[in-house]
Amino acid sequence: MAFVATTNSHFQIILKKGFKVKPNSTFICGFHGLGEVGFLSTAHLTRTLAAERVGFIKSDMLPLFVSMEDSKLVLPFELYSYAPKRMVFLVPRFQPHQSEQWGFIDRLANWIAENTFDETLLLGGLDASFKEDEQEMRAVPTSTYQPKLKKWSVPLLEEGLFVAGPLALLLAELEMLDIPAIGLLTYATRGRPDPRSAATMLEKINEVYGVEANVEQLLEESREIERLEKMRKSIESSDRPGDMFV
């Protein structure tokens, strides 16, 4: 298969020959943040929508790992396209290396700008301990995204709370470039993957974009994680000295 690189630097976005981002497309990405919600949501979307792999990201600090998925070799940073809804996904199976996060995100933001995406969705998790109402999500839009915000029916992130990591850096870059983008954050459990939170994210994307990403696998994974967590807590409780009989 022939590919063409879109840059000549140490950071390359390598696209399948013949693939071009169509006008009015949506860019979607999520990193390994709190609850791994961003990565779980993005990766599950590409699988359930049977999106086509159309490219890769290559950098100086590319993680030294590959794996297999559905009998296919998968790389650390891959781009996928879902043509029916003009969606382009970045699936980062690892966080960008800390030493190159600034350059990685800067080049990615400029690529988003060069391809004039209609909007960019950045998916992530928000510590569930901050939840104060029945809403399951919070939104962090760039200034140029404000006219599109109403369709989500999601309240803004409260003042005094912060977004962190690559997602925060990418939001900041897109704000400076006047790019319409929104960070969507679902409440998640700290300290472990939270597939239930990712399922909540996908249900909202299904609603807004009219796609049919099946969330049952995520819910099943969540039920299993919760079952194991209860078992662990039960075992820890039974091991306390006060619960022992002599």
Query: What's the confidence (pLDDT) of residue 123?
Result: 96
pTM for this predicted structure: 0.87
Q: pLDDT (tens digit, 0 to 9) for every residue of the chain, 246 residues total? A: 555 555 444 889 999 999 999 999 999 999 988 988 999 999 989 989 999 999 999 988 888 888 898 888 989 999 999 999 999 999 998 888 888 888 899 999 999 999 999 999 999 999 998 888 889 999 999 999 999 999 999 999 999 889 999 999 999 999 999 999 999 999 998 888 888 899 999 999 999 999 988 888 887 876 776 666 666 566 666 555 554 333
Tokens found for residue 211: 């796609």
Domain assignment of residue 244, yes or no: no
Q: 222 is in which domain, residue-wise?
A: 3-238
Domain assignment of residue 243, yes or no: no
Domain assignment of residue 182, yes or no: yes
Question: How many CA atoms, within 13 angstroms, populate the side-chain half-sphere of residue 86?
Answer: 13
Domain assignment of residue 10, yes or no: yes
Domain assignment of residue 246, yes or no: no
Provide the CATH number for the domain around residue 122: 3.40.50.10900
Question: How far is residue 101 CA from its own chain's centroid?
Answer: 16
Domain assignment of residue 52, yes or no: yes
d(CA 172, CA 167): 9
| Cβ 55 vs Cβ 78: under 8 Å | yes
Domain assignment of residue 107, yes or no: yes
Number of domains in the chain: 1
d(CA 30, CA 25): 17
Domain assignment of residue 245, yes or no: no
